[in-house]
Amino acid sequence: MRIIGGTAKGRRLASFKGMSIRPTTDKVREAIFNILSHPEDDRFSFKNILDLFAGTGAMGIEALSKGAETVTFVDNDPKAVKIIKKNLDSCGFAERAVIIAKDVQSALKLLSKKGEKFDLIIIDPPYNSSLTGAALNHIDDNGFLNTDGIIVVESSKRIIWDGELKNIELCDRRKYGDTVVSFYKNKF
């Protein structure tokens, strides 16, 4: 697993042994960041990012490499937190990152109390879980998404969340093999 673009392009990232955590493949990560970048100059305009169920941190670190100012990583697995720290250090991005070692709902409550808002929110829960809806509802209810912000949700094609939200709507959905990537934005 490598960083696809930006200042850390080509840097190898530490990962997990076994399948307890399934990092986003390089191919899918590249597709997501191509969609999020401006096509005319490959510019990445998202500055404050939230990476939920961060795993290895590859998605947030890719964003930092492409020019994000800060990324808040959330994962409650101690092994994941250790790998995120290792990957941030090896890429030189530790000073631009915050790691919250809590479950997503607890982390979102903490961020809500602080009044945090984000330009890009990445949600990549375990494939066999139903955690996407709870995370999206909490984000929607607490206004975490900046006006022109985007939410990227990665899921298995077997478990796609299609619920209704008050302030956020689905704006695009792409399939890459077994992976489905859904993009949400503010309705207003």
Q: Which pLDDT tens digit goes with each residue over 129-143?
A: 778 989 999 999 999
Q: Give the domain extent around 86.
A: 26-35+43-186
Predicted local confidence at residue 23, as pLDDT: 64
- Read off the pLDDT of each residue in 179-188 and give the average, rounded to a whole number: 92
- The answer to whether position 9 is within a domain reads no
Stretch (H or E) spanning 35: helix 26-36
- The answer to whether position 102 is within a domain reads yes
In whole angstroms, give the CA distance from residue 53 to residue 134: 13
- The answer to whether position 20 is within a domain reads no
- The answer to whether position 13 is within a domain reads no
Chain Cα centroid distance, residue 98: 13
In whole angstroms, how far apart are CA 126 and each of 37, 52, 70, 174? Answer: 26, 11, 24, 18
- The answer to whether position 139 is within a domain reads yes
State how many domains the chain has.
Answer: 1
- The answer to whether position 57 is within a domain reads yes
Residues 15-44: pLDDT tens digits? 877 545 566 777 888 899 989 987 665 678
Is the model's pLDDT at 167 over the cut of 50? yes
Q: Are the C-beta atoms of residues 168 and 184 closer than 8 Å to each other? A: yes
Three-state DSSP class for 53? coil
- The answer to whether position 11 is within a domain reads no
Residue with token string 């993009």:
183
- The answer to whether position 8 is within a domain reads no
Which residues lie closer than 8 Å to 95 by C-beta, 6 or more apart? none
The domain that holds 152 is classified in CATH as 3.40.50.150
